[in-house]
Amino acid sequence: MNAEPDSTSQREGVTPDGLLHSGSEGEFTAEDVVLASGRDVNPENLAWAERRLAQRGKAALDELLP
């Protein structure tokens, strides 16, 4: 057993598992699609996500998640 903390779970910028969710659990937003894609949340990426949602619906997020 390793007494040292898991460095991969402590990396800066990594979203904790408890905060992750998918569209199958309820409603999601364009911001969720941006975050699932690994992009920064900014107006350009939000516009991209909104277009993706309009074209693909729920699949827009499901396609990005493992």
Query: Each residue of 12-64: pLDDT tens digit?
Result: 677 777 776 655 567 889 999 999 999 999 999 999 999 999 999 989 988 98
Residue 23 · residue 61 · CB < 8 Å? yes
User: What 3-state class would DSSP assign to 60?
Assistant: helix
| pTM passes above 0.85 | no
Other beta carbons within 10 Å of 21: 14
Query: By C-alpha distance, which of 35, 9, 13 is closest to 22?
Result: 35
